[in-house]
Chain A
Amino acid sequence: MTEIRTNTNKWLVKTEKNKKGIVGKLILTAILLIIGILNIYPFLFMLSSSFKPLNQMFEYPIQLIPRTFILQNYKNLFLPEYYFTRWYANTLTMITLTVALKTFIVSMTAYAFARLRFKGRDIIFLVFLAAMMMPPDVTIIPKYVIFKFINITDTMWSLILPSTFDVFFVFMLRQFFITIPMSLSEAAIIDGCSHFKVFYKIILPLTKPAMITMTIFTFVWGWNDYMNPYIFISDTRKQMLTVGIKLFTTSMASDYTTQMAAATLVLIPVLILFLFAQKFFIEGITTSGVKG
């Protein structure tokens, strides 16, 4: 009897605890959701304004769902007097080339450092590592001088090339390549396979997550880069999106809703990429620290 009683007591205590747990969980979730929504409020404001006529934009209190829903702001962006489409195309071309070149060169280099033995390998690798400490901003002026000298200012190569020879991802990929058992490639080599074949038939497929992480970050950094195009590209038609929309806003200062449409279209590709690749994004950051 007493046993049963204590058992029911235990059970009662347990459900009470659970209830308390659920309430706590709900409250904390609610608080965090409010913080989260406040955190992305600027984006919600941007999105809703981009579909509003100009005279409704500053109506107070703000209506996040537009009273009159229009597409004119987006149409404005594609008027021939703006270079918006051009900037978009420039940026996409630049990023595609960067990703292609960088994936190839960086992964090949990392493969050599991780899986091939040659004289001076470790010393060279140390030099590359030390370069990770170099702040890129210090070298802006000499870079400008060099780019002028080899005649690549005002072309997208002035953005592609420095990013291609990325130090950080050589380091990161090397760490991944090292973890793959040596015996896997040794067997293939003895069978007469070339190192290049081993590299792209065996090693690359095994390090897909690392390669995807590199691609995503290259895309996002390239897409959002502001300083480099601002400094190395002066021809408006050759400009990248980030600097482009800045020029665009100063030339049409009062058309706020069109600016909001522009800002929305700039953010969309990265947001889509992020939502699809969220797992790799967050894992990539947590496993590697990623540079700020």
Chain B
Amino acid sequence: MMKKKKLSIAEKEALTGVLFIFPYALGFLIFHALPFILSFVISMTDLRFISKISEVRFIFFDNFLEMFNDPYFWEAFSKSVQYTVIYVPLIMLLSLMLALMVNKKIYAKNAIKTMIFMPYISNIVAIAIVWGLLLDPIEGPINNLLMTLGMTNPPMWLMGAKTALPTVVIIAVWQGMGLQFITYLAALQGVPRELIEASQIDGANRWKSFIHVTLPMISPTTFFLTITSIISSLKNFSVVHALTEGGPGTSTRVLALNIVRETFASYRMGYASAQAIFVFVFILIITVIQWKGQRRFVSY
């Protein structure tokens, strides 16, 4: 009698569990799992228009072969790599420096934190409008300032073929820094004061105790932030599109923009999917390499 009752409670629990996760599981399948699997399938087809989905042919790896011979793809790839190479060190260094400063004894800590964090929660298009104006080559206040300071040929910023990409990256760093900064700040607060004091009693100066105590203590955070910032810089559609739409010319057409262009301007969904898969595999490889390499410099 007792046993039967207990069993029914457990059964009830199991039934409730299944009922509770059912809606989520269904939605997850349709909106996350299925698209992921389909992207591999589509990358091997010549899908163009969804209305002609019945005429789709399997062309297997032809998209990938074409991609490797496509100069536009390689150009976009190189833009993405350039973007990442500037973005990651810059954002890491700046946010660490700011976090180190704010972690000291200062007044108005909360106000300062808020000011540094604010761009992170701001709307990217609103930001693009404001920066577009500030950096206007002829009328913009920044170039006006540079000209009063005696510069005769101030940069074209977002409108120059050579300057557009670095300008986009700097704005992206400014916008994304808040999150990295807060994460670093939290990590720094986890470093025990006694450890730093002990190292200083042992004769280490500030720089030395930073290198030998603080830096190793926050290395898991650095590792985490490096991975996430590489990933986010390789799939940076919104910032770049809102600021330049890939222009001038193709000077800021990074991979994510190229994929969307192939999909909705050239209507080559199969081909665009192949590029998306490439990005995915590329990110995966970088992450795995970092994961393997972490033992060398991350101390837990």
List residues of A whose CB falls within 8 A of some B CB: 21, 25-26, 28-29, 31-33, 35-37, 39-40, 42-43, 45-46, 49, 58, 60, 62, 105-106, 108-109, 111-113, 116-119, 121, 124, 128, 131, 134-135, 137-146, 148-149, 161-162, 164-165, 167, 170, 189, 194-196, 220, 223-224, 226-227, 230-231, 241-243, 245-246, 249, 256, 259-260, 262-264, 266-267, 270-271, 274-275, 278, 281-282, 285-286, 289-292
- Summed over the interface, the residue pairs from A and B with CB atoms below 8 Å come to a total of 274
Interface size on B, residues (CB 8 A): 96
Interface of A: prevailing SS: helix
* A32-B98, A231-B260, A282-B117 given; 19 more Cβ-contact pairs under 8 Å: A29-B112, A32-B102, A36-B115, A40-B115, A42-B119, A42-B130, A108-B23, A112-B16, A131-B36, A135-B279, A141-B42, A144-B269, A145-B42, A227-B241, A243-B125, A246-B128, A259-B129, A262-B126, A266-B123
B50 at the interface (CB under 8 A from A): yes
Q: Is there contact, CB below 8 Å, between A141 and B39?
A: yes
Instruction: Specify which chain B residues have a CB less than 8 angstroms from the CB of A165 in the assembled complex.
Output: 24, 27-28, 31-32
Q: List 10 A-B contacts (CB under 8 A).
A: A29-B108, A36-B116, A46-B130, A58-B141, A109-B25, A112-B16, A117-B17, A195-B16, A224-B121, A245-B126
CB pair A141 B273 closer than 8 Å: yes
- Tell yes or no: B73 within 8 A of A by CB: no
Residues on B close to A: CB < 8 A?
9-10, 12-18, 20-21, 23-25, 27-28, 30-36, 38-39, 41-42, 47, 50, 53, 98, 101-102, 104-108, 110-119, 121-131, 133-134, 139-141, 144, 148, 174, 176, 179, 182-183, 185-186, 224, 228-229, 231-232, 235, 237-238, 241-242, 256, 259-260, 263-264, 269, 272-273, 276-277, 279-280, 283
Rounded to whole Å, the gap between the CB of B273 and the closest CB of chain A is 5
Distance (whole angstroms) from the CB of B149 to the closest CB of chain A: 12
Q: Is the contact region of chain B dominated by helix, strand, or loop, or is it mixed?
A: helix
